[in-house]
Structure 1
Amino acid sequence: MPWSEARATAARAVRGPLAPEVRQLPDALGTVLAEPLTALTDLPSFDSSAMDGWAVSGPGPWRIATGGHGVLAGDDGLVPLEDGHAVRIATGARVPPGTTGVLRSEYGEIRRRPARGPEDGGHTGGNGGGHTGGNGGGHTGTGSDGAGSRGGRDGRDGTNPPTGGPHGPEHGTTGAPAPGDASLHTTGGHTVVPGQDIRPRGQECRSGDRLLAAGTAVTPAVLGLAAAAGYDELRTVRRPRVEVLVLGDELLHSGLPRDGRIRDALGPMLGPWLETLGAEVTGTYRLGDDAEVLHTAVTASDADVIVTTGGTAAGPVDHVHPVLRRSGAEVLVDGVAVRPGHPMLLARLAPGRHLVGLPGNPLAAVSGLLTLVEPLLRALSGRAPRAAAYVPLAEGAPGHPRDTRLVPVVRRTGTPAASPSGRSGHPGGRAPGSRGAGARSSGNTGAGTGHRAVPLRFNGPAMLRGIAAADGLAVVPPGGAEDGSMAEILELPWFEGETE
């Protein structure tokens, strides 16, 4: 079967997404919304300050209103702000009724009322330290307003708490001036207009607004939006349950290869890879080459998808095809015209249950994973098919005479290096200075941006060195692709963007 047809067959092998379930927010990450996310409240749910500063009412200058520490985020039961008054306010705090706007801290200064001099009936010092006596009873006289001038403005100990910054009462906005003792003025020609630096109720959304569509992947940002909109739990598509069966008597599970046996590379790799594709991996089991054990494992499993490794060809210990026939499975894909990985297969065990047989060679297994498993899992999860990405090749890629080739590549910015392939002597065959991941790409094509896909060496079916250094697989058509030609790139789950 042609490679593109095999992928399409896997994508339409299921009738629709799995049944929805309800998950608490912390458990919903990586799932898919089963229904639209609708706002349960206005966002924000009240008029709030967008800046630290002063809530002011009417035109300035403004008298400092009472209120202790001012208005902080979370305060309730606010006192209406009278015309001509101002009160300290913190970012996110609810604005008091009567607020015209918010004056940012850096745009305002507090000015002290001039102190009364001796002609007003009292003696004052530079910082309000006049003559005091007893418990704040300073030397007093009678001023024009009939009030005695106390040595200290607090009338207790003759001291005057500063309301300005280090330069005196005419500067800064720190401190807590007594009401009526100071006024707030704008600086630098700034003015306050109605609604200034206020986040109005419903600015982001109104209750009932549709925020996200069904089928949206639940990312950390989606969790934050859901919490802000009033959700404690989400209705999401159930994760596909996947079971991995690793076949092969020749596989070792620890230590160095020895005595003609090799390490199992697929067991440690497939489970985490499947989880990045949205699966719930229920277990990875090593069965060896035993047809009866394999048949029992396949028929007893309740997984939505079984993934086997090895045993898909026609050798003496390749038991996958006989087990499928014995189980009455419907084979949907039996071999794909792709290198590496042509002996991959897809079968329907029962309605809603499938088996994907991957080749035993590691890179061939990755080819099968991206060709059959990923489209199948996306369909079960309710995810839309991944949009194709196309990038020009930095150099030509040899092709198979008849089959599609999947070649590990790394994206780079700029032109290829002068040395052959620009990769000799570097891990995975990458060019000097290249990385495994960079900034997220902003589009699905590298044309006109200087981004190129550099084919990597170590791309044989039994190798993992190339794919470990890659951020994607280039789809090379039969016959090969020339330098600069556009190639479809199958992005790996951890791809973050082009490298320098």
Structure 2
Amino acid sequence: MAFECAGPLGPERVPLAEASGRTLAADVVALQELPHYASSAMDGWTVSGEGPWTLTEPGRPLRNGEASPVVTGGVIPPGTQSVLRVESGRLTTSPAGRALLMLGDGASPGEPRPGQHIRKSGEEAAAGEVLIPAGTALNPAHIALAAVSGFDQLVVRRKPLVKMLVTGSEVVTASIPEPGQVRDAFGPQLRTVIQMLGGVPGPLVRIGDSYEEWLTALGASEAPMGQWPDVVVTTGGTGRSGADHFRNAVAALGGRLLIDGIAMRPGHPAALGKLPNGRFVVGLPGNPLAALMALFTIGGPLLAALGHQPLPGVSRVLCGTTIDAHRASTRLLPFRWVNGLAVPADFTGPGMMRGLASADGVMAVPSRGAQLGEPVPAFSLPWCPPLQPRLPGDLVWGD
């Protein structure tokens, strides 16, 4: 199933220091010749004609039989025929008391040859030549090339900025929770997971359980990092009780639901909304495992679609046990590899994280169940190596 409700975001300009790892959205074209002047490749002397050479001031045009000192990267003055490296020359004094440059004992036969040790202007690139094509995943060498070419910023494909809204009056952020309290399982890891899924983590806001707090937090118009959030990810409040406000808050802000629950366990109360300003709202259940399953299945494809990335891949694995039918819901079961088979992990209740913490991937077991050795769909976890295709016809989301 293709994720059709979102399209790629427009490009943005970022400073060079922030561009590594991003994908270039427009060609980087040489603004001028590269290098833009003829320079010396060695410390030594620029020389004209055959030696010995009369020494002149640095930088002035040379006449036949003259030389001037130069350092690596120094400008080659007009009239220069070559550069004599410092190891190949020696300075002496003429009978008239003038400084002379002569070949030294370290000079190679035929040195200096015409053009030797001169970096010509334009030898790396001509003005207007494409240096880095659009679509390139930028690495540090690309950044250095852009810098020496005179660029301060690059145009890259924009990644979606994600605001996180963690809800629950019973949630505490430190120490051992008291009865009736729960430790925050989202704050310490949600930023990292969103980044792994291709988003840019923005602000993390904590609120209680009241409708007014929900409405204020979802409708807030803050602009962190110089832009509006493209996506808001909420935790909790997606159920159907009077204490769950996700749907009512989205509706009150003029939004609409694109996904209103999914036939999967855990994570079935998950929802996806879109507000009139174009902002997407991903509603995750309050239980940690259920929330992450929903984030992988809804948030991952959404962030990929917005951020110009391929949709997450789905492979197939051989089930390592018999799994009974479960009404009408697909079950997302964290699994571990055992002798080449995918065996469901222990401790995978909606509020448990122990099973996922040791898992190699997630199986999507159909409602009819699965038999030992049967191929079942599966996807990798963002922090685990990708699942390698194991069977003919393995699929990718969107096929």
Q: Give the TM-score normalised by structure 1.
A: 0.56
State the AA in 2 paired with 1:13. C
State the AA in 2 paired with 1:43. L
Aligned counterparts of 1:51 and 1:260: Cα–Cα separation in 2: 74
1:361 CA displacement: 3.1
Task: Sort the Cα spacing of 1:21 and 1:341 in 2 relative to 1 into closer, same or farther, 3 A.
Answer: same
State the partner residue of 1:244: 164
State the AA in 1 paired with 2:310. P
Alignment of 1:151-166 (within 5 A): none
Task: Sort the Cα spacing of 1:240 and 1:195 in 2 relative to 1 into closer, same or farther, 3 A.
Answer: same
Alignment of 1:399-410 (within 5 A): 403=330, 405=332, 407=334
User: Which of 335, 338, 361 does residue 474 from structure 1 map onto?
Assistant: 361
Aligned counterparts of 1:100 and 1:199: Cα–Cα separation in 2: 12
1:44 CA displacement: 1.3
User: Which of 55, 71, 74 does residue 66 from structure 1 map onto?
Assistant: 55
State the partner residue of 1:203: 123
Aligned counterparts of 1:51 and 1:481: Cα–Cα separation in 2: 70
Aligned counterparts of 2:29 and 2:174: Cα–Cα separation in 1: 50
Contact 1:334 1:345 in 2 (8 A): yes
Aligned counterparts of 2:130 and 2:235: Cα–Cα separation in 1: 44
Task: Sort the Cα spacing of 1:67 and 1:325 in 2 relative to 1 into closer, same or farther, 3 A.
Answer: same
Contact 1:253 1:264 in 2 (8 A): yes
1:79 aligns with 2:61: yes
Paired residue secondary structure (1:266): coil
State the partner residue of 1:92: 73
Contact 2:319 2:342 in 1 (8 A): no
State the partner residue of 1:333: 259
Aligned counterparts of 1:90 and 1:398: Cα–Cα separation in 2: 72
1:31 CA displacement: 6.3
State the partner residue of 1:435: none
- Greater fraction strand: 2
What CA deviation, in whole Å up to 9, does each residue of 1:401-454 have, x standing for no partner?
Answer: 674747488xxxxxx9xxx78xxxxxxxxxxxxxxxxxxxxxxxxxxxxxx999
Aligned counterparts of 2:385 and 2:70: Cα–Cα separation in 1: 44
Contact 1:86 1:184 in 2 (8 A): no
State the AA in 2 paired with 1:312. T
Task: Sort the Cα spacing of 1:197 and 1:464 in 2 relative to 1 into closer, same or farther, 3 A.
Answer: farther
Structure whose alpha-carbon radius of gyration is higher: 1
Aligned counterparts of 2:116 and 2:141: Cα–Cα separation in 1: 28
User: Which of 282, 289, 293 does residue 213 from structure 2 map onto?
Assistant: 293
Contact 1:215 1:384 in 2 (8 A): no
User: Which of 210, 227, 236 does residue 310 from structure 1 map onto?
Assistant: 236
State the AA in 2 paired with 1:209. E
1:458 CA displacement: 7.4
1:257 aligns with 2:239: no
Aligned counterparts of 1:103 and 1:454: Cα–Cα separation in 2: 69
Paired residue secondary structure (2:187): helix
What CA deviation, in whole Å up to 9, does each residue of 1:101-140 have, x standing for no partner?
Answer: 55666xx544688x9xxxxxxxxxxxxxxxxxxxxxxxxx
1:361 aligns with 2:276: no
State the AA in 2 paired with 1:17. L
State the AA in 1 paired with 2:232. I
Structure 2 residues without counterparts, runs of 5 or longer: 223-228, 387-399
Alignment of 1:182-221 (within 5 A): 183=104, 185-187=106-108, 194-214=114-134, 221=141
State the AA in 2 paired with 1:66. L
State the partner residue of 1:321: 247
Contact 1:345 1:358 in 2 (8 A): yes
Aligned counterparts of 2:283 and 2:18: Cα–Cα separation in 1: 30
Structure 1 residues without counterparts, runs of 5 or longer: 72-76, 116-144, 149-153, 156-177, 410-415, 422-451
What's the RMSD between the two structures over aligned residues? Answer: 5.0
Question: How many residue pairs were aligned?
Answer: 370
Aligned counterparts of 1:91 and 1:480: Cα–Cα separation in 2: 71
1:229 aligns with 2:149: yes
State the partner residue of 1:36: 27
Contact 2:56 2:68 in 1 (8 A): yes
Aligned counterparts of 1:193 and 1:486: Cα–Cα separation in 2: 68
Mean Cα deviation higher: 361-370 or 50-59: 50-59
Contact 1:312 1:358 in 2 (8 A): yes
Aligned counterparts of 1:408 and 1:56: Cα–Cα separation in 2: 73
1:48 CA displacement: 2.8
What CA deviation, in whole Å up to 9, does each residue of 1:50-90 have, x standing for no partner?
Answer: 4556656567xx5465267xx7xxxxx4533746x766644
